[in-house]
Amino acid sequence: MSDLAHKWDLPLNTVLESGHLFKQYAVLPGFEEDEDVFRDGLVDEAAMMALVCTLCDIVTIEDLPVTPQDIMGIVDKNSDGTVDFCEFSHWYHERAFLEYMNLTKTEIETRRAGCRLGISLADMDHYKGLFNKFDADSSGMICKKEFKDLMHVLMKVPKDLDIPETRITHFWQEADSDGSGLIDLEEFISFYIKHFNTGSDNPMEDYYKAFRRCSA
């Protein structure tokens, strides 16, 4: 193992740990009598997915935010459909930097949303917290009823006062940019930043001032 660690420029402990795992999932081709698991052994896609599930402590690969093809595209360097010990050891060494080995599905989706929107991780944590507050049923989406509650809170309109349905519909259509009938995290953040971030234009604040005068 020390020779392989030196040859592949990997820490010896990495090679030892990866070797222990590799032996559990690799099979020998069966062409030669003196085959060695580290020299000749191979892990196919199904075995690789089972191994990833073990490392991530999940039941099935469907619980990951990536597909088997995504994983094999990283580990199977020569694209022959199987993983040899060298490929596996390098993947095992790099796995600490792979999102799906360290974060939950929700955390990965939040980070990717932040990248698309150009928002820092700290700010995304803040916006995700707000989103979760208004996503009362924890469905991962904000429905029309939840949006009404959201508008009352953000516009500081008392619950015993109604926001005209025409205004709710107007803002709903603006927030639900893809017309799906639900507001996802990215749509919520874009809507919130536009109207409620400090220093942003806030036509709803002007509307509410007029609304209070009419209600007085």
- Tell me, yes or no, whether 80 lies in a domain: yes
Same domain flag for 69 and 153 = no
In the chain, the number of structural domains is 2
What range defines the domain where residue 91 resides? 2-101
User: Rounded to an integer, what distance in angstroms lies between the CA atom of residue 95 and that of residue 80?
Assistant: 21
Is 126 domain-assigned? yes
* Res. 207: pLDDT tops 70: no
Please report which residue ranges of the chain form alpha helices under DSSP H: 2-8, 12-25, 37-40, 45-56, 68-75, 85-94, 105-117, 121-134, 144-154, 165-175, 185-196, 203-215
37-96 confidence digits (pLDDT tens):
999 999 999 999 999 888 888 878 887 777 888 889 889 989 999 999 999 999 999 886
Which of 12-16, 69-73, 100-104, 114-118 has maximum average pLDDT?
A: 12-16
* pLDDT tier at 152, thresholds 50, 70, 90: confident
Give mean pLDDT, residues 158-187: 90
Between CA 88 and CA 86 the distance in angstroms is 5
Q: Do both 86 and 148 map to the same domain?
A: no
Q: What are the backbone angles phi and psi of residue 21, rounded to the nearest 5°?
A: -70, -45
